[in-house]
Structure 1
Amino acid sequence: MGTKYIPLPASPRVRRPYPPTAHAHMEAVMARELFAGVPVTDYAAALPWYERFFGGKPSFLPNDVEAVWEVAESRYVYIVEDPVRAGNALVLTFVDDLDGRVAGIARRGIEPAERETYEGGVTKVIYRDADGNEISLGGGPD
């Protein structure tokens, strides 16, 4: 799956009162789906941890060494056996009910490695898998 590029008008006759924002430009040219990959050393060993973390079986299995969870509409996190790159992923997903999610994950036997609170009340809860990949949840102030 590649990025779809949509041509933007280039005519000098097109007048805009203001230049397009970066966000509007990104909306025009970027695909609407996101896949965040997490390389793991041993797929079979990593799979149970991720099933507990996400609270269920993968949404789909593309092949024998890859599992994909849909974490929001058209937003996916996947693990793939890739020992050379394992342990280097940084994934952050913002959620509505951070405390509820953290409690649910704890009930499934996984505790956060760290919890950070930033100026303005934004919180980041960091989890690490056996390879050291950082899978985090974030939330805004209550």
Structure 2
Amino acid sequence: MALDLFAGIPVNDYPAALAWYEKLLGSPPTFVASDSEAVWELAEHRSLAIEHRPEHAGHALHTVFVDDLDALLAETAERRLQPARRETYSNGVRKATYVDPDGNEIGFGGAPL
């Protein structure tokens, strides 16, 4: 069975969120679905989208696992974004959580060193 993931993030201020996510993800959206929705394809069949939905903004919690967490952290730091939290779990898995202007949490996880 083929799987696709489309993770949505409701935002209050679409233009501000668009700029913030471009900074976090290091690129403009892969495509703009409408004047209130932008989509980034993170990997084949795996997308992250922001949508202007003020009544739901600030409640998203997503974690994306990456091959090289240290590289991602260095890249976001170059774009002047720092995680709000860094954690290391008992099994050695690390996670860095960024919080957008609405309070949505986007975490990036990585395997133990």
- So what's the TM-score if we normalise by structure 1? 0.78
Alignment partner, residue 54 of structure 2? 83
Shift of 1:69: 0.3
Alignment partner, residue 8 of structure 2? 37
Alignment partner, residue 80 of structure 2? 109
Shift of 1:138: 0.1
Counterpart selection for 1:97 from 68, 81, 95 = 68
Q: Which 5+ residue runs of structure 1 have no aligned equivalent? A: 1-27
Q: Which has the higher contact order (CA 8 A, sep 6+)?
A: 2
Identify, as 1 or 2, the structure richer in strand.
Answer: 2
Alignment partner, residue 74 of structure 1? 45
Shift of 1:101: 0.3
Deviations 1:42-96 (A, max 9, x none): 1111111100100011000010000000111110000000000000000100000
Alignment partner, residue 139 of structure 1? 110
- Between Structure 1 and Structure 2, whose CA radius of gyration is higher? 1
1:112-131 matches, within 5 Å, as 112-131=83-102
Percent identical residues: 54
SS in 2 for 1:84: helix
SS in 2 for 1:130: coil
Distance 2:54 2:42 in 1: 24
| 2:10 is equivalent to residue 55 of structure 1 | no
- So what's the TM-score if we normalise by structure 2? 0.97
Q: Which amino acid in structure 2 is aligned with residue 85 of structure 1? A: H
**CA-atom RMSD, angstroms?**
0.8
SS in 2 for 1:93: strand
Distance 1:44 1:120 in 2: 39
User: Aligned pairs, how many?
Assistant: 113
